């Protein structure tokens, strides 16, 4: 999407999202906005940063020359915001849009049955059917797998281990 500000932290670190190609793609997001700005936070200029900055400046020069020659005034594109509601509800219930016969069409399921959001939640064992609306916290309504430990459990286990080490 078009953004007006891109900030890249540790831009001088070499790696997956800091190579020349990734930096160019990320910087290009702001180029689609007439008020776009890019901030690269770094301790020094890496070769990938240098190459992407030079490439961006070269592209900007060519674009400005093209715009001047063709009397084009750059403007940021205006897109309508998506309407949330029926489409999202349809995706949650595994249906979306209209089928060829005018009815809802199935998406994401080849079984032919409507599984719905509750069945999806069941598949991931997230505690469907155990929701208690009178609980104080939303988190208290989520069941955890038997292998999950809370921070308190881990701290208590560490204290027990340390206590046993003192006994030796």
CATH of the domain at 12: 3.40.50.300
- Alpha carbon of residue 138 to chain centroid: 23
Whether 61 and 95 map to the same domain: the answer is: no
Separation CA 54–CA 123 (nearest Å): 50
pLDDT digits (tens, 9 = 90+) for 101-136: 555 555 554 454 455 555 555 555 545 455 455 555
Q: Kindly report the pTM of this predicted structure.
A: 0.47
Please give the average per-residue pLDDT across 32-50, as a whole number.
88
Cβ(130)–Cβ(143) below 8 Å: yes
Q: How many domains does the chain have?
A: 2
Residues 6+ apart with CB under 8 A from 27: 6, 38, 52, 56
Closest CA to 49 of 5, 2, 6, 14: 14
Give the strand pairing for 37-40 and 5-8. Answer: parallel
Separation CA 165–CA 45 (nearest Å): 50
Q: In the prediction, which pLDDT does 66 show?
A: 96
Scanning the structure block, which residue is given the tokens 């292998």?
147
Q: In the prediction, which pLDDT does 79 show?
A: 74
Q: In the prediction, which pLDDT does 109 show?
A: 47
pLDDT digits (tens, 9 = 90+) for 128-163: 455 455 555 445 545 555 555 544 455 565 566 666
Whether 53 and 97 map to the same domain: the answer is: no
Q: Is position 168 within any domain?
A: no
Q: Is position 82 within any domain?
A: no
Cβ(48)–Cβ(23) below 8 Å: yes
Q: Is position 161 within any domain?
A: no
- Res 35 pLDDT > 70: yes
pLDDT digits (tens, 9 = 90+) for 59-97: 989 999 999 999 998 888 777 766 665 555 555 555 555
Q: Is position 159 within any domain?
A: no
- CA 42, 43, 46 angle in degrees (round to 5)? 70
Whether 95 and 61 map to the same domain: the answer is: no
Q: Which domain holds residue 135?
A: 89-152
């Amino acid at each position: 999407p078009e953004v007006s500000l891109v900030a890249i932290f540790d831009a001088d670190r070499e790696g997956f999202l800091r190579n020349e190609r990734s930096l160019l793609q990320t910087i290009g997001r702001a180029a689609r906005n007439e008020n776009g700005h890019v901030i690269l936070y770094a301790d020094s200029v890496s070769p990938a940063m240098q190459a992407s900055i030079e490439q961006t400046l070269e592209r900007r020069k060519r674009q400005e020359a093209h715009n001047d020659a063709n009397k084009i005034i750059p403007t940021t594109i205006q897109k309508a915001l998506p309407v949330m509601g029926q489409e999202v509800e349809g995706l949650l219930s595994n249906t979306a849009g209209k089928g060829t016969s005018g009815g809802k069409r199935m998406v994401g399921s080849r079984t032919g049955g409507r599984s719905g959001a509750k069945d999806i939640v069941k598949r991931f064992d997230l505690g469907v059917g155990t929701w208690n609306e009178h609980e104080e916290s939303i988190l208290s309504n989520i069941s955890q797998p038997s292998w999950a430990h809370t921070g308190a459990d881990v701290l208590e286990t560490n204290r027990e281990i340390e206590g046993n080490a003192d006994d030796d």
